[in-house]
């Protein structure tokens, strides 16, 4: 049985979501936080709230940082150390142009010189365990080969590979053969990430790559938050059972978010994200009704109807 890691999804898997998922559903070895970055010389207060130990109590959380230089890498690492972390994930995979254009995320992959400098930086932090999350490259799927080669010079907790380039974003299919090449080429343990939505998908990857350290799942867990617990308990649920559990999780999220958010519009926008990837579980009509409900009252009525599915 492989460990399942919950992928970071900016705007979805915040501290509230992670806490409640861990308490009510589980099956996850580690939850990765959405990336923390430097903005006008410091960390945004929203990002600090997300990584604050008090907001992550008893949840196995790994904070993630994104950077375009050794200076940014060191600043963020030092801040996380101040918050008591000794385990940090490095984002070299984000495809969003806003970050990638500035050599952050997958935009750093063509810049071997910057990555080498950051590796030198990592070597100075003896008490910190790092992992890397990366893609095949920015616009060329050979870039990862050189990066894996230089990462072979340092001991990492693991390298998570999403086998697409940055410019591909989420289009097309994952490149399993390229993943296989990097998997056999890396001295560091490898975690697979990309397009896992069912127990069968997990078993296929498990069978193909027997030496894998684990599997990281993002959108598949947002779609069906029970996926990892179904896997760890070797028990596949039907959609009705999933929806019952999701409604319980939804209600707990409502209570927590209503303490932080102000007004119906903020609540509606936040709560709708909970269902955004769940059309395959809810079915097209109920999904549309929830997503297009327009105001909080209609939204709650549409959610209430889900229990009759
Ligand atoms: C809206 C959105 C936000 C994301 N935010 C992050 C992030 O903050 N850090 C990161 O490493 N990956 C981020 N990702 C990528 C996911 O962690 C994951 O690598 C990707 O969705 C592929 O895995 P999946 O097919 O299991 O979803 C994001 C993806 C999406 C769709």
Residue 66 CA, ligand 1 centroid: distance in Å: 13
Domain 4-232 has CATH 3.40.640.10: no
Any residues with CB less than 8 A from the CB of 134 and at least 6 apart, and which?
A: 92, 93, 106, 109, 144, 147, 159, 160, 161, 162
**Domain boundaries in the chain?**
4-232, 239-308
Give the number of the atom of ligand 1 that is nearest the alpha carbon of residue 197. 26
Which residue CA neighbors atom 22 of ligand 1 most closely?
194
Pocket of ligand 1 (CB under 6 A): 7-11, 34-35, 64, 91, 93-94, 133, 162, 193-196, 217-220
**pLDDT tens for residues 107-165?**
999 999 999 999 999 999 999 999 999 999 999 999 999 999 999 999 999 999 999 99
Rounded distance between C-alpha atoms, residue 170 and residue 154, angstroms: 29
How far is ligand 1, taken at its centre, from the CA of residue 308, in Å? 32
Q: What are phi and psi of 190, to 5 degrees?
A: -115, 140
Q: For ligand 1, what atom is nearest to the CA of residue 33? A: 8
CA-closest residue to ligand 1 atom 31? 9
Q: Ligand 1 pocket test: which of 9, 133, 196, 273 has the largest number of ligand atoms within 8 Å of its C-beta?
A: 9
By alpha-carbon position, which residue is closest to atom 29 of ligand 1? 9
Distance 7 CA to ligand 1 centre (A): 6
What tens digit of pLDDT does each residue of 69-116 get?
Answer: 999 999 999 999 999 999 999 999 999 999 999 999 999 999 999 999
CA 305 – ligand 1 centroid, Å: 30
**pLDDT tens profile 208-266:** 999 999 999 999 999 999 999 999 999 999 999 999 999 999 999 999 999 999 999 99
Listed range (132-136, 272-276, 304-308) with the worst mean pLDDT: 304-308
- Nearest-CA residue for ligand 1 atom 10 is 8
**pLDDT at res. 309:** 82
The tens digit of pLDDT for each residue in 188-210 reads: 999 999 999 999 999 999 999 99
| pLDDT over 90 at 28, yes or no | yes
- 30, 218, 273: which to mutate for ligand 1, most atoms within 8 A of CB? 218
Mean pLDDT (the chain, rounded) = 97
Q: Which of 162, 159, 182, 161 is nearest to 172 (CA)?
A: 162
- How far apart are the C-alpha atoms of 278 and 192, rounded to whole Å? 22
Given this model, what pLDDT does residue 126 score? Answer: 95
Q: Over range 41-49, report the average pLDDT.
A: 95
Secondary structure (DSSP) of the chain: ---EEEPP-TTTS-HHHHHHHHHHT---SEEEPPPB--BTTB--HHHHHHH-GGGGTTS-EE-EE--SSHHHHHHHHHHHHHTT--EEEEEE----HHHHTTT-GGGGTT-HHHHHHHHHHHHT-TT-EEEEEEEEESS-TTHHHHHHHHHTTS--S-EEEEEEESTTTT-S---HHHHHHHHHH-SS-EEEES---SHHHHHHHHHH-TT--EEEESHHHHH-TTHHHHHHTT-PPPHHHHHHHHHHHHHHHHHHHHHH--HHHHHHHHHHHTTTT-HHHH-HHHHHHHHT--SHHHHHHHHHHGGG-
């Amino acid at each position: 049985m492989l460990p399942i890691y919950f992928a970071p999804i900016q705007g979805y898997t915040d501290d509230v979501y992670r806490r409640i998922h861990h308490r009510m559903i589980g099956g996850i070895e580690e939850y990765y936080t959405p990336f923390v970055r430097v903005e006008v010389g410091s960390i945004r207060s929203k990002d600090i709230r997300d990584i604050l130990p008090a907001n992550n109590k008893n949840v196995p959380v790994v904070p993630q940082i994104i950077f375009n230089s050794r200076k940014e890498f060191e600043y963020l690492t030092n801040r996380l150390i101040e918050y008591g972390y000794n385990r940090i994930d490095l984002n070299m995979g984000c495809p969003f142009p806003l970050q990638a254009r500035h050599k952050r995320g997958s935009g750093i992959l063509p810049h071997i010189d910057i990555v080498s400098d950051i590796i030198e930086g990592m070597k100075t932090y003896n008490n910190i365990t790092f992992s890397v999350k990366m893609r095949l490259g920015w616009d060329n799927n050979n870039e990862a080969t050189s990066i894996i080669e230089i990462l072979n010079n340092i001991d990492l907790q693991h390298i998570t590979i999403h086998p697409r380039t940055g410019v591909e974003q989420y289009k097309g299919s994952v490149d399993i053969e390229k993943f296989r090449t990097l998997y056999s080429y890396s001295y560091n343990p490898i975690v697979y990430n990309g397009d896992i939505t069912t127990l069968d998908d997990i078993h296929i990857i498990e069978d193909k790559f027997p030496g894998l350290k684990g599997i990281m799942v993002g959108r598949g867990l947002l779609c069906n938050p029970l996926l990892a617990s179904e896997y760890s308990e070797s028990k596949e649920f039907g959609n009705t059972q999933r929806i019952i559990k999701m409604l319980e999780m939804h209600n707990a999220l409502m209570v927590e978010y209503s303490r932080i958010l102000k007004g119906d519009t903020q609540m509606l926008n936040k709560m709708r994200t909970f269902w955004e990837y769940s059309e395959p579980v809810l079915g097209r009509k109920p999904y549309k009704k929830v997503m297009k409900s327009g105001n909080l009252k209609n939204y709650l009525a549409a959610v209430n109807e889900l229990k009759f599915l």
